[in-house]
Amino acid sequence: MDFHRYAIYFTPPEGEFAALGAAWLGWDVAQGCAAAHPEVPGLPAPVAEITETPRKYGLHATIKPPFALAEGQTEAGLIAALERFCAGEAAVTLERLQIAALGRFLALVPVGDQGALCALAARAVAAFEPWRAPLSEAQVARRRAGGLSPAQDALLLRWGYPYVMEEFRFHITLTGKRPKGELPGIKAALEGLLLPLLPRPYEIDALSLMGEDAAGRFHLIHRQTLTA
């Protein structure tokens, strides 16, 4: 399959959480296909509506945000680079994950010390920079239109994305933006659905190379274990 952008994500290992998370969002990145939504009682809107915005990305946390390949770089080179990077990095153990509101959407976020995870993400952003094509002026303008702080603008120009390095916040997105009054009900339903499947502590054990297809949906290309 031809991909026009790539990204480095954390995707959960194969298992109940990954399968149910894919069904909740309606897109399975590992299989590269739509997934049937589960029946979830007590929601203020249909699952398909709640998850429409994040669906195409699948169940993931962004580490190196989506980028076009730089001239002369290849997918095979990216896979080899991911293997080398992960061979030199250790897994990160988090106290646990919890569901929280980030503005008007819900996500799984870490509880406790996140220093090692943020450092891993920062090293990944820098390590894969040689594979990223520079942003066009139009792309920069689109990002700026959303409103950025001076620090975020500087990160956008240096790394192609404003929410990396010191602005990074690990999160696994579960919903699109919803009316604030809906969030407590959706959160309660998701806590009953997903939290029983999450181990405590929770381990970030691998990084995944993802590809974006012509329809804007992301596919798992290669998941590499952190082995240092």
| Predicted pLDDT of residue 1 | 82
The tens digit of pLDDT for each residue in 82-120 reads: 999 999 999 999 999 999 999 999 999 999 999 999 999
CATH of the domain at 188: 3.90.1140.10
| Predicted pLDDT of residue 19 | 97
Alpha helices in 13-74 (DSSP H): 16-25, 47-50
What's the number of domains the chain is made of?
A: 1
Q: What average pLDDT score do residues 207-216 get?
A: 97
Residues 6+ away with beta carbon under 8 Å from 118: 168, 170
Is the predicted pLDDT of residue 64 greater than 90, yes or no? yes
Confidence band of 228 (pLDDT split at 50, 70, 90): confident
What is the spatial distance between Cα 212 and Cα 2, in angstroms, rounded to a whole number?
A: 8
227 falls within a domain: no
| Predicted pLDDT of residue 81 | 98
228 falls within a domain: no
| Predicted pLDDT of residue 223 | 98
- Backbone torsions φ then ψ of 172, nearest 5 degrees: -105, 105
Secondary structure (3-state) at 206: strand
Beta strands 33-34; 218-225: pairing state: unpaired
pTM for the model stands at 0.95
Beta-sheet strands, E only, within 54-165: 61-67, 92-94, 96-102, 105-111
The tens digit of pLDDT for each residue in 65-86 reads: 999 999 999 999 999 999 999 9
Residues spanned by the domain of 72: 5-222
218 falls within a domain: yes
